Structure 1
Amino acid sequence: MHELLQTFPVISEVKVAWGEMDALQHVNNVVYFRYFESARLSYFQKINLSLDSSQTTIGPVLAETNCKYKLPITYPDTLFIGAKVIDIQEDRFTMEYQIVSQKIDKVCTQGQATCVMFDFINHCKVKLPSKITQGILDLEAC
């Protein structure tokens, strides 16, 4: 399984909940974006990207996200969600995700998200702080 996620510096583990299933007896399509969000937040913790509004007035907002469903996921299962940054620009970065099912030992889902740094006081995008850029580069180099 780890060979399926070897290029991802952050891997989150999530157990599929019964309530995430839909009428067709597989995980509902909306839930995958929550899985991606959990992996993204784990990545942010690794690079010390604070989301605490009492500590910072800037932070990442989603500009775009997508999901490619390859195989259905069903309860019970444990998922491993890889997250990595595949592009860094002046004011944004793009992350890639990959979900692997422990039950079937295959990649079930792939996705991407572009996060733009945003100033919540002035309501405008801002440059990616150099400490965040360096944190991403250091984590991706591992």
Structure 2
Amino acid sequence: MAIEIPSNELFKVQVALEVRWSDLDALGHVNNARYFGYFEQGRIGYLERVAPGRKLVESGVAPLLAHTECDFLAPIEHPASLLVGTRALRVGSSSVELQQTVRGREGGRVHAIGRAVLVFFDLAAGAAVAIPQPLREAVRLLDGV
């Protein structure tokens, strides 16, 4: 199966990371589970961009991770400087689908491509809710979706 690698220019939010020694497995590569931690840092960077501070959580609404997946394309070895790119692909009534990449900062080699679905949740009611309009507008302005 051929995997389409998105252009780096599509990702207006990029978080810089350094690979830590503790990220490695016995083979000297970044452990596959750590990629999901990298994606998490990318999602947090994205949410900080479209909803700065704690305004969203303080309003009683929080994005919950409903789904995540990763295609591993190339191993990462220590030391390495990385960029985690995150962009919105789709905005639904109560969810946002994100695409993410893990790239080498030098040379831009793509090591992984991920996808995540965030569902917006009313913490008091314990149920999914519509995405707040200011957040929806911020995502539209940033990523055009």
Identity %: 27
1:27-42 equivalent positions in 2, closer than 5 A: 27-42=30-45
1:132 maps to what in 2? 135
CA drift at 1:51: 4.7
2:65 maps to what in 1? 62
Q: Deviations over 1:59-84 (max 9, x none)?
A: 10011000110000010000011100
CA drift at 1:54: 6.7
Task: Give distance in 1, aligned partners of 2:63 and 2:57.
Answer: 15
| Paired residues of 1:85 and 1:96 also in contact (CA < 8 A) | yes
SS of residue paired to 1:6: helix
**Structure 2: segments with no counterpart, 5+ residues:** 1-5
Moved over 4 A (4+): 49-54
CA drift at 1:52: 6.4
Q: What do you get for the CA RMSD once the two structures are aligned? A: 1.9
Task: Give distance in 2, aligned partners of 1:17 and 1:98.
Answer: 18
Size of the aligned set, in residue pairs, is 139
Change (3 A) 1:89 1:53: closer
CA drift at 1:120: 1.1
SS of residue paired to 1:14: strand
Superposition TM-score, scaled by structure 2 size: 0.89
| Paired residues of 1:50 and 1:59 also in contact (CA < 8 A) | no
SS of residue paired to 1:30: helix
1:2-17 equivalent positions in 2, closer than 5 A: 4-17=7-20
Q: 1:92 aligns with which of 83, 92, 95?
A: 95
